[in-house]
């Protein structure tokens, strides 16, 4: 009897369920131990004094490098060199690129552009060609229609290239290569014309107040007539093209000598 009771107590003890917490597992069917809690506990141990839950950031090598007095001295020396270089460029930039003069040639407004275009097509109606001066300095183009500018030549050059591309498109000949070739050839011819005039002035030893920028402006006005000729050619064919082109050629022949001669300082220009 005693032996039977001992056997029953042993069976009950073996069938008793062991607590999950004693096994160190959250799930009785889990095959491996969960180590994330341990990592989170380790991560929490590395929190900074701010208590925001972020790990304490160590000093970066860059910060340590910048804290070095030698690096600070090198940075100060480099900054001074950059400042001196900028000052040197600002002083000598006008020797290579006359920025101040270029600003003068682009000082135009809508009224000036309209009057100048009318003067280019109808120079025969204009009487007073004298350029106005104020304290030995020519006034801005927007105040004097006789003053040369670069806005109209630049815009006319770009518009001429685009109109030429349009004309090529109507003939089923358009391609980016031809458009680039057209722009390059127009710019090359303009450069050749300016160099030819400068060489002529040098050979005949003519003293003139006209600058190279003035020559570029005067020679760039011809693109206005060329645009008109191409547009009329697209609208009215060859007859319209040659009529407008001939008119523009005669107009530019009348305009150029008077405008360039009257741009000379101190020249009387009561041209008729």
More confident residue, 31 or 265: 265
Secondary structure element (H or E) that encloses residue 184, with its range: helix 176-203
Q: How confident is the model at residue 60 (pLDDT cuts 50, 70, 90)?
A: low
pLDDT, residue 3, reads: 56
Q: What is the pLDDT of residue 117?
A: 95
Which DSSP symbol is given to 25?
Answer: -
User: For residues 80 and 206, what is the distance between their CA atoms, to the nearest angstrom?
Assistant: 47
Give the pLDDT score at 24.
47
Closest C-alpha to 129, from 267, 241, 265, 258: 258
Choose the weakest-confidence range: 54-58, 143-147, 233-237, 264-268. 54-58
pLDDT, tens only, 181-229: 999 999 999 999 999 999 998 898 878 878 889 999 999 999 999 999 9
Least confident of 5-9, 16-20, 116-120, 259-263: 16-20
Q: Please state, in angstroms and rounded to a whole number, the distance separating the CA atoms of residues 229 and 243.
A: 8
**What is the domain partition of the chain in residue ranges?**
110-130+147-262
pLDDT surpassing 50 at residue 21:
no
Which residues lie closer than 8 Å to 175 by C-beta, 6 or more apart?
Answer: 168
Exposed e or buried b for every residue in 104-120, given b needs 16+ CB within 10 A?
bbebbeeebbeebeebb
- pLDDT above 70 coverage of the chain, percent: 65
Q: How confident is the model at residue 93, as a pLDDT?
A: 60
What are residue 134's DSSP bridge partners? Answer: 137
Strands (E), the chain: 133-134, 137-138
Question: Is 140 a residue whose pLDDT tops 50?
Answer: yes
State the average pLDDT over residues 116-131. Answer: 91
Distance of alpha carbon 130 from alpha carbon 120, whole angstroms: 16
Q: 2 pLDDT band (50/70/90 cuts)?
A: low
Round to whole Å and give the CA distance between 262 and 147. Answer: 9
Q: Where does the pLDDT of residue 245 fall: very low under 50, low under 70, confident under 90, or very high at 90 and above?
A: very high
45: pLDDT strictly greater than 80: no
% of the chain at pLDDT higher than 90: 39
pLDDT at 270 over 80: no
pLDDT level of residue 82 (50, 70, 90 thresholds): confident
pLDDT band at 20 (very low <50, low <70, confident <90, very high): very low
CB atoms closer than 10 angstroms to residue 179: 16
């Amino acid at each position: 009897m005693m032996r039977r009771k001992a056997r029953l107590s042993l069976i009950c003890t073996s069938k008793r369920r062991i607590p999950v917490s004693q096994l160190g597992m959250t799930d009785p069917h889990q095959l491996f131990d969960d180590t994330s809690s341990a990592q989170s506990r380790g991560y929490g141990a590395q929190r900074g004094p701010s208590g925001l839950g972020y790990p304490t950031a160590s000093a970066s090598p860059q910060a340590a490098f910048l804290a070095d007095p030698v690096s600070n001295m090198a940075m100060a020396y480099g900054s001074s060199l950059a400042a001196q270089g900028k000052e040197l460029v600002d002083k000598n930039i006008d020797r290579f690129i006359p920025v101040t003069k270029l600003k003068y040639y682009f000082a135009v407004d809508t009224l000036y552009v309209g009057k100048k275009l009318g003067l280019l097509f109808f120079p025969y109606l204009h009487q007073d060609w004298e350029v106005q001066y104020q304290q030995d300095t020519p006034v801005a183009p927007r105040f004097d229609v006789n003053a040369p500018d670069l806005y109209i030549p630049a815009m006319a050059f770009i518009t001429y290239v685009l109109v030429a591309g349009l004309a090529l498109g109507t003939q089923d000949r358009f391609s980016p290569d031809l458009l680039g070739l057209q722009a390059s050839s127009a710019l090359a011819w303009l450069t050749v014309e300016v160099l030819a005039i400068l060489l002529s002035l040098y050979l005949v030893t003519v003293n003139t107040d006209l600058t190279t920028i003035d020559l570029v402006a005067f020679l760039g006005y011809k693109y206005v007539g060329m645009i008109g000729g191409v547009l009329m050619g697209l609208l009215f064919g060859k007859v319209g093209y040659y009529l407008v082109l001939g008119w523009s050629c005669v107009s530019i022949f009348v305009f150029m000598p008077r405008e360039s001669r009257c741009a000379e300082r101190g020249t009387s220009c009561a041209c008729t």
